[in-house]
Structures are given as structure tokens and as C-alpha cells.
Structure 1
């Protein structure tokens, strides 16, 4: 019970979860969907053991169970195993229903909450039918057009053009019983009324404006592309079949669903918008800072959402064979065919990222990643977003601790268009001043919101103390001071530094002929000129020589702790043993989980993690617990860490960790994106090119003695950093 209560308390520290639960409670006063999935603290505390057992006996019965297997096995053998395991269970009547049906809503409802947070969040929802209803395909398309993707109406009109929100989205929650069409947006408090009015204007435009056929086509392509990407892994297939069979007793439901998506017309979308997104069916909620000078009432939300006349819109082959090519300018190009699924993935990697920053430039690569590829010399942000959706994919830059780059994903049938669009985004970014200002405000808002993310705060101050001079101790977002003063020229210099062909690797994996792909990429990539600029590798900070504690107080419910040590680098041969040790400690079957969560009920969330780098990274343990349990939690963590430094792990424990790690990695390798990333990163880091294939073997070669050795090397229990964020 205490573990579940810990998670309930943890959710109270998440503004979006708090608001979501309040909105669903408003929208579903009768149905069970109006209650939190994990329950209420009072009810969980009051459950007697017999009531829990009665629930288990009623619902966990063969008639209510679905077992899904997908992968490389013999069907007959699998059936025999399932029969042996599940066939012995006694048959009982299957439970029925999820409670009383929801009564039709006849007037708008609203809820206002305050919390010790930095930003504001709004959500709204309208009742929609269940998953198997004939209107769901049109509603999914409506959601995609309104708020899913960078060319959605919310994104373009409310975020980009009007600058009223920091982020905005929509989705259709359509489970077994009738659900919700939901919209959510994060924004500055000053924009609450204007942003809500703009959202309502976009919603009601569907009743008065014709739907553009290109807009409809893009939505269909992107929705259907999900079906392709789901087939990349056996895990994805199993999850999909299990969900549909459990909810609808139709494991192949999606096949008919995508046929219905194809058949949706513009009139269908307008009809479902008029049918379900009605003023009297609105549920709207707000959570905003409790120290705000404004006093906002529930009626204010309804006033903001009142329907107004909309304003005018502006016009608008060998499975493991990899080919390594070195171009004339020094750029390294890696190509690998995979014809299992009709997708193409391209990844670029340039050694740099946070590691290439100084205190004065901290945050420049984060800003670059938000702008790079968003628009080009010939395509503004809106046109770029439309082009990306027409290839049923995505193109975006990224930034990490060691690498900055760009990633592109699209269907292979759109390969030529996709490659040209990727090259345009990579080589000819626009870096528009207005876009820079918008992204600057978004990053500043994210920096402010860091104060609400207590787990992130605990890790942030841990890293600052462990890496006082090395860039790893800085934030990927940068500092507010730096972000405010960065200009277009700063971004352009960072872009030029990250396009040095001698320090650039590009990988492509997917459904293509490698020679054809090389022919498409080579001419443009060889035109990149070498740069003389570079950065000097940073010096490694000394490891801790004593126990150091850093604390911060926040007006929240839970305490968040990170206890950590100097870790290893990518070049360290001990990293495989350390990864195995990490798996033995972490996860739901790990020692920390079993001892601190299950046995001692100290926390809902506890884990360990190993963060490697070009220079040594860190190994740490994280736990979220009640403030009164902080001392006990620290003692419990140290006790478990001490055990692995004093005695060999059990043989079955080692084998279980190794099998899990290898299995998870093999499943992940079924994704083209994973293979492309592995190939590019291994090359840029100077790791063995066969690492992506040899990794399972290296994990399986780790012995118990290796785990003990690396535990003694890393886990110095008299010299660590303890970071605490608590009430």
C-alpha cells in the first residue's frame, strides 16, 4: 500500500497529471474514467487484504485474459507452453462492465487549480464515442489536423504565428467505453484568455470553412505510417494485438481501421467536428501558479471559451552488411540496407554538443537544435512542416552531451523527396529572426519549468557538483542569461562548426539500394567545405575525495535523491560489466526495487543508471520518497551498494540480467532508427565498427568476478555526491 501511496503523492508534483485527473473528474462524474487509475490515497489506505484478493479472483480469470506471442518461435511449441502455464487456471465467469455509463452532458464545465509551479497549463475535452465507433477514424483525422504534427493548425496558427503558447497538442482518447477529444497547451499566464479564444476559433472553423484536400491527405499519410512503424519490432506487434484483442476481441482491428481512414472525406471530418465539439459539451481546466497576483475563477474559463466569430485566416540485401564510404572532403557516410519494413532513417552525428560548450556559450547547441531544419532558404517553417508531412516522416535536429546532429525518418516510397528535403534542411537552414525569438522564449520557459521538475533538479545539482568545470556539469538548455543574449550570428557560427566534414558522420538505414542512396547523398555532401574552427577537448574533473551533500528545498510533497559516483567513458572496457551491474540493481526485478520498494515500501520510483561519455560520466541511484523517509532511503541505498562491493552476485542473478539486456537490445535493433544511431555514434566515438553486432556477445562474456571488480572500482562509499531536493 505504501508503494502505491508514494506514487499517488508523486503524481501530485506533476502539474499536468493533477490537471488531467481534475478534468477527467469533471468530464466523467458517473463513469469510472472520472477516477484516477491508481486510486485515491484514502481508498488505497483503507483496502483490507481480503478485498484485494476478491478483486484479483474476480478479474484475473482465463475468460478475461489474453496472451500474445510475437517473434521467432514454433507455434506448436508456444501453444504447448501456454497450455501448460495458463491451461491449469480454474475457469470462472468473466466480469462485466466498467461501471455506470456517463449521462449526456448538457452544459459546459470548468475547473481551476493552483500549484507551486512556474508556468500555466490548460486542458479541454469533449465527449467522443468508444474505439469501435464508426466516427473514430474521422475524429482521429480531425485531431491530427488540429494538433498533431508541426504543420497542424494549432501549431502553425497559435504557437508559430501568434506566439500565444509554448507547446500545444490534441489527441483522441478512445478506449473501450466513450472517451474524450482532448486539447492541451502550456503557456505564459498573460496569454490565458487570448490563447483559449484562439483554440476555440480553430475548433469552430471546421463548421464554416472547407477542409483542404492536401491537409486531409497529409493527415491520412501520417496516421497510416504509424501502422508501418509499429511493425518494426515484435514488441510493437504484440502490444498492438494484445490491446485490440483485450479491448475489442478483434486483434486485427487496425486493418479495417486503416481502410476506414482511407475512406474519410472532408465532409466526414467537418461533420464529426460539428457533432462532438459542441459548446455545451466542453470540459475545460486550468492549473496556474499559486503565487500569481491574479485570481481566476472557473467562470472565467467559460467566458474565454465562449464561441466568437472567427477572424480571417492568412493565405497558406545482406542483413549485416554495412557500407562505409569516405568522401573527398573527409565526411564519413555509412549505408545499410534493411528491406523488412518500407522506411528510411538518416542520422548525422558531429562530435560536440554540450561537451563543446563553455560557461559563456552554454545553451547555444540547444538553441541551434530547435532552429536547424525548421525552415530553409526556400521553405519557411509552415511550408517545411507541410513538406515533411507529405513524406510521412519527420526531420529535426537534436543535441546531446557529446554530439549534435540531425535525424530524418520517412517512408521508402518517398525516398527521393525525403532525401532532398533532408539535404535542404541540413545544408541550407534559414535561421529566421522571428523563429529565433519564438524558440528563445520556449527555451526560457523550459528553464523556468525546470524548477517544477524535482527529479531533474536533483540530477542537475548532482551533475554540477560532480563536474564543477567539465561541460557535463552544465545544463543542455543553457542558462537564462546566455539564452537571452544569443543572436542569429551565434547560431550561424554554431551551425558552421557542426558542419565540419572532417568531424561529421552520416548514416542511412532502410529500404533502399545502397548505391542508389549513395548517389543521392554524395554530390550535396561533398560540396561541404572543411572548417578550421574546432574545440579543445575539456579536461577531466577530479573524482570526489569525500562525501559531499547538496540540498535544495521546494514546496512539494516528495523528496528526490540522487546518490552518485564518477562513472566510465565509452573507451573503458569495464563499461559492459558496469551496465550488467546497473541492470542487476535497477528495474522491477532489480535489488533496489525489491529491497527498497517492495520490502521496505520506501518509494514507488527507485532505480540506478550509468551515464557514459567521451570523458568519464557518472553512475547514480535515484529515489523519490516521503521526506520523513529520506534518512532510511539513503541507508537502504548504501546498504545495497555495499553488498555488491563485498560479495559475488548470484549466478542466476547475473544470467537473468544478461538475458534481459541482450533480449531488449535485440528487439531494439529491429528498429532502423536504432541501427542508424548505433552506426553513426560508434563511428564518431571511435568505437569498433562491429560494436552494434558484438554488444550482446560482450554482455554475455561478463563474469561475476567482473561485476564485483567494477563495483569496487566505481562504488566508493566514502566518496560520493548526494543530491537532495525536498520540502
Structure 2
């Protein structure tokens, strides 16, 4: 276990964005235990011995430090008897904490600047403002301000990013612990823009800390926060975890009190409780990059949670001028989610125009009909609407989430973005440069690079093998005419699907958009995918560990084997699954594993991966293959693993479909498949009803073939092997 933890510590050094935040939090909580690394350091982990573990266990794992909370539809007295019987042989030392930790004072580390030189392609930064602890009455105000600042669509930081074009990504989040908290603003920027970006960001944050928030912004945050907090209690496990946590911190009604304070928040409360508190204390700034900066491193009301048996929703279909509209009548919340989905994306691109759809999707939200992106975002924010666009491998889509009463206005604004984008030169160049930076920064994320290389090896002669972010060669030379041609080919109402979830009349609120889209002939994609199998690639890089992927040709979303492969992927992806158990728990050579099954319009792929200690690549490959073979043999352990995988996948769907936007996306993407637009209804039961033998047969048909193998290795290892 010591070796595995040391690998995980080494892996932290490759995640520059996460490392930057850790360094900033260490400075914020300087002198307090919260300022230490959760994993420890190589020095501390190397010194820990068995007696240290036993002493820690004896001091901390005590009756007074423990809570057992059970949520079940059984007699409580019977449950208590079973628990006492199960724990009868466990010796639990009595006694509470003798050491009482102090509260992390708000001024610790304030104003400190930390720079860490690292071989990263991007410059990463994190600003951390001291905030009160979890139990403070001002915590809901801090959380709300953080959401308005940089967590929601159209946030202050997102508008600043679009306006200035100095950073590639930026967001904020609040970090609340029992004895102290922080508000974190983090992002990345090209090295040559780092100083200007931080200087401009400082002005933006100063303005945000002095400017009042609007009631519309606060209303969106209240609704989202209320929904996400209550969603945890949709499952018995969620209820038990939350209640146990409340008992451990000594506040049995903590969540109820938090929601009451959140629902009662006024814009002035945020000004007084959050902004003014942070304005008085300078933030910690941490920067991670390959170069110095260059200049002076200087809900409407509280609602008690009630379990309600909802009516099973039904999906209706409407055909409007060749387009298709699907509507799910959902009255659970007074909001509406809409997805506008066009056939297209990567599968209709070539090497010559790779990235044109990703660029178009970003430009959709950069101004329309002569209006700037900033003004457009303000209009969306004024109606409490969140909007997003996405270019996928088989589609290009836009989504809208807004209160039901504002849907028509929100759709009118979104229609302008899609049909009449500005495509202004400054926006065009900025977004093209951003996508180039996305491709370049992939070198800083070995797992992302690994998946990209694996997919490219499988689809060598197919558009699916192109880079989803685009080709830098095309992006650097792309013209507005290239994007206009792509837009003209994409806008075809015969390939348009509109999915609406909410208590509205779909024809009155979104039907007009279908009539506004022209009926074109558009570009078409191939019927089948071209794949290459049996390839092995070794790629060198500035990695501290090795990263391995096995990828097989998969199935399309229309193939009935899709659900079986999803179960197999979930089983292999679980931390308690056979892949993790084989490579980490038993062999001790891997610190991260994963699996995924991706089903597209014309095909798909199945991938497993592992990040392992350098020099253990061949052993890891053998173990990965053996794990697949043993799972497909259908022995008792494999059957039990699949049963657990089914439950995990069904649970994941249940959580996802608590959001209307997830339901709308499902309807848009699956209406032509064997699952259907209404397939989200009862999907959990369908998965749980799959027979393990059927899953194994479907899995064997795909995974018995020879996969492609991609290995990312440190340069020195690759050179020693003489590989090309």
C-alpha cells in the first residue's frame, strides 16, 4: 500500500491544475492541519510504520467518534439487533478526541504569492480567499456568491473570459470544511498572456466584490442549490450518509438549517456576508508554469423534503415542417430544459477542416445579430437562463435551461445565436486560438492524451479518428467563410431534433424555431466506420509514470448489445471492480484504472486504461488482458462483479435523470434507437433485468477480438527500449 500511495503522490505532480490549487490551499491554511496534503508527502509516507498506524487507529477509531445510521424499510428494533450482532466481535475503544483542533483563522496566508516552476504547456493559477467554516451562518452566502462568480453559465468570470480573451478556462468554487473555508478562483492561460491575465482578473474580481448581485442571478443559484442538495436524499444511501455526517458534526438539522438560510438570502446579504468579508482580506495567489510571469511577481422559500411518488412521465412526438419535437411533461420544478440537436459534428469533417464544428459551437455564444457576447450573456442572465453549446462526434447541439415563464424569450435569443451568429473577427481568432491551446494542453493531462491517441489508432481512416478539438493547422488558417459553409450545411430541419422537458406547450414555445431553420441537403456521413485493429503504439513524453490503453471496435447506439457493454465497462471502471483489484490491490503497480463504452451513430469503441509504475508496462498489459478473460469466463466471482456493475449503472442513470437537461439530451440522442425517446423511463429496471449470461455473450463478441494497444511512457524508458 505504501508503494501505491507513493505512485499517487507522483501522479499529483502531473496534474498541474490540481497541484496549483493544492499549493494555494497550503498557503491559505498555513500552520493548520488543513494546510497539509491529504496523501501526505514522500517523506512522511516513507517514515510511517506499523506502530504509527496502530496508535492512530486506537486514538481515532473510537465509539465516541463513530456513527451508525441506517435507512431502510424495516423495523428499527430488528435492524438494531442485526447491527449489534454484526459488531459483537469488533472491539471498539471508548473515548473521544483528546486533541481539539483550533479554527483556521481567516487571515492565515492572506496576500501570499507562490510560484512553482513545472514543465507545463499552460500557466495555471489559483486565487484563494479566506472564508468561514462549514457551520458559519454566512456559509450559504459565500456558496451563492461563488456560484454567481464562476460556477453558472453566463457567470461573471465567464463573461470576463469572453470579453478579454486572456484565459482558456476559469471557474470558481467554495471549499467549506468544519474549521475553516475558502473561495477558490482557478484557471489556465497561455504563458505569454499570464501577467496580463492576472492583472485584468484582479480588476474583474475587485469589481465583483464591490458590485451588488441581482435578484435574477440569486434566484437561479437558489433553485440549483436546493435541487442538488435534496437530490442526495433520493436514495437510501444518500440519506444515511448525510444524516451520519450531521450527527458526527453535532448538528442533526444542519442541511435543513442551511436550506432555510439559503432560501432567505437577499442580494444585500451576499454583499454583507460574503463580498465584504473577502474584500477585507487579500487572497493567496499560486501560479504553476514553465516560466516566471515576467513582471513583478507581485428556491422561492424553504420546502421540507417530502417523498412524493411522481407520475410516470410520458413523451409525445410532434412533426413540424420536417423537424421532430419530443416533449416530456414534467411538473416537478417550474423550469424547462430544451436541447436543439443537429446531425453533424466530427463525422462530417475531413483532415482539411477538422475543428470547424467545434469552432462554430463556440462562436454561437459570441454574439448574434450585431449584439456582443457580453450583452447577449446579460440578456440570458436577466431571465435566469443558462445556455450551452457542444460539438460532438455525431452531432452539434445547443441547450437552454430556464424558468418556464421565460422560455419563449430564451428561445428567441438562442435562435438568434444559432441562425445569425456575428462571427466577428476578434471572437473568431480568440476561439480558434483557444481550441489550439486545448490540443496543446493535452500534453499536461496524460490520461486525456492516452484516450485521444487510442481513439485515433482505432479510427485511422475515419472521421471519428480526428481530434474533437480540431487540427491546429486548420484552426490557425481557418476563415469566416469556412465556418459559414459549415453552418449552412448543418442547418437542415430534416436533421433537427428538439427535445423539451417541462410544463409548457412545446409547439407554442419552441415550434417556431423549426420553421426558421432552412430545409437543406446538408453534408452526409458514411454508413459504416473504418477501423484498424491489432496496432501497438509506444509514445514518449514528459511523464513520471506510464499510461496504458486497450481499445476495441465497439457498437453503434442502435445496437442492442450497447447496454450489456455499458454494464461491462461500469464493472471494470468501479474502484471495487476486478480491474482495480487486480492491478492495484493485488499487484500494487497501478494507481488509477478506468473503462468506457462509447456508442456513436456509425459505430463506437470500448476502452480500458491503467496508469502504472514505470517499468511495469508488460505486467500491467498481461493483467489487463487476464482480467477481461476471467470476467468473460462467467465464474462466480465474475457474475457477482457484473451484478454489482448493473446496480452501479442503474444508480448512475437514476441520479443523472434527476436533471431535466439530462432527460432532454437522452430524448434527442436516442429517439431513433431501440431504447427510444422515452427509454429513460424504467432504464434502471431494464439494466437490472439483463441476464449475466447475455451480458457475457455480448461482451465476448466484442472483447474476444484483438485490441489496439497504446502506451505512454517517460522519454528515458522509450529511448532505452529503442521503440519508435
Please report the TM-score for the alignment, with normalisation by the length of structure 2.
Answer: 0.87
2:316 maps to 1:323: yes
Greater Cα offset, 251-260 or 487-496: 251-260
Shift of 1:105: 4.0
The equivalent position to 2:478 in structure 1, one of 471, 486, 503, is: 486
> Do the aligned partners of residues 94 and 162 (structure 1) sit closer, same or farther apart at CA in structure 2, a change above 3 Å counting?
same
Q: Which runs of 5+ in 1 are unaligned?
A: 303-316
RMSD over aligned CA atoms reads 3.1
Cα displacement (A) at 1:326 = 0.8
Choose from 479, 488, 498 the match for 1:496. Answer: 488
Q: Determine if the alignment matches structure 1 residue 40 to structure 2 residue 28.
A: no
Q: Secondary structure at the match of 1:347?
A: strand
Tell me if 1:404 matches 2:407: no
Once the 2 structures are TM-superposed, how far is the Cα of residue 647 of structure 1 from its aligned partner? 4.7
Aligned partner (choices 677, 681, 684) of residue 669 of structure 2: 681
Aligned counterparts, 1:457-472, within 5 A: 457-472=449-464
1:55 is aligned to 56
The alpha carbon displacement at 1:85 in A equals: 3.0
2:284 matched residue in structure 1: 283
Other-structure match for 1:119: 122
| Equivalent residue number for residue 133 of structure 2 | 130
Per-residue displacement from partner, 1:74-110 (whole Å, max 9, x unpaired)?
4x54775366337865573343667444464487322
2:200 is matched with which residue: 187, 198, 201? 198
Structure-2 change in CA distance of 1:113 and 1:474 (3 Å): same
What SS does the aligned partner of 1:174 have? strand
Change (3 A) 1:87 1:114: farther
**Kept after mapping to 1: 8 A contact 2:337/2:400:** yes
Q: 1:244 to 1:481 in 2, by over 3 A?
A: farther
User: In the alignment, is the contact (CA less than 8 A) between 1:284 and 1:301 conserved in 2?
Assistant: no
Q: Is the contact made by 2:574 and 2:580 (CA closer than 8 Å) also made in structure 1?
A: yes
Q: Normalization by structure 1: what TM-score?
A: 0.87
Which residue of the partner structure matches residue 313 of structure 1? none
Structure 2 distance, partners of 1:713, 1:272, is: 57
Contact in 2 for aligned 1:285/1:301 (Cα 8 Å): no
Distance 2:372 2:610 in 1: 45
Equivalent runs, 1:583-622 vs 2, <5 Å:
583-622=570-609
**CA separation of 1:250/1:468 partners in 2, compared to 1, >3 Å: closer, same or farther?**
same
Partner of 1:692, secondary structure, is coil
2:169 to 159, 167, 170: 167
Q: Establish whether residue 356 from structure 1 lines up as the match of residue 348 from structure 2.
A: yes
Report the counterpart of residue 314 of structure 1 in structure 2.
Answer: none
Q: Is the 8 A contact 1:507 1:679 kept in 2?
A: yes
TM-aligned CA deviation for residue 254 of structure 1: 5.4
* Partner deviation per Cα, 1:135-171 (whole Å, 9 max, x = no partner): 43444454445444454444334x2333222222333
For 1:689 and 1:57, locate their aligned partners in 2 and report how far apart those are by CA, in whole Å: 55
Partner of 2:220: 222
Per-residue CA deviations over 1:20-44 (Å, capped at 9, x if unaligned) read 2222222222111111122223323
Query: Cα distance, 1:423 vs. partner?
Result: 3.8
Q: 2 CA distance for matches of 1:683 and 1:480?
A: 35
Change in 2 beyond 3 A, CA 1:438/1:65: farther
Deviation at 1:378, TM superposition (A): 6.2
**1:481: Cα distance to partner?**
0.8
C-alpha deviation, 1:531, in angstroms: 0.6
For the residues of structure 2 that align with 1:196 and 1:146, how far apart are their CA atoms?
16
Match of 1:301 in 2: 297
**1:33-81: CA deviation from partner (whole Å, max 9, x where unpaired):** 11112222332333333433443454445544556677xx64x547753
Q: 1:523 aligns with which of 512, 532, 535?
A: 512
Alignment length (residue pairs)? 692
Q: Mark the runs of 5 or more structure 2 residues left unpaired by the alignment.
A: 299-309, 715-724
Distance 1:79 1:543 in 2: 61
Out of 652, 655, 659, which is 1:671 matched to?
A: 659
Equivalent position of 2:720 in the other structure: none
Equivalent of residue 526 in structure 2, options 537, 547, 551: 537
Q: Secondary structure, in 3 states, of the residue corresponding to 1:360?
A: helix
CA shift in 2, pair 1:122/1:664, >3 Å: closer
Distance 1:485 1:539 in 2: 30
Offset of 1:525 from its aligned partner?
A: 2.1
Distance in 1, matches of 2:208 and 2:571, equals 54
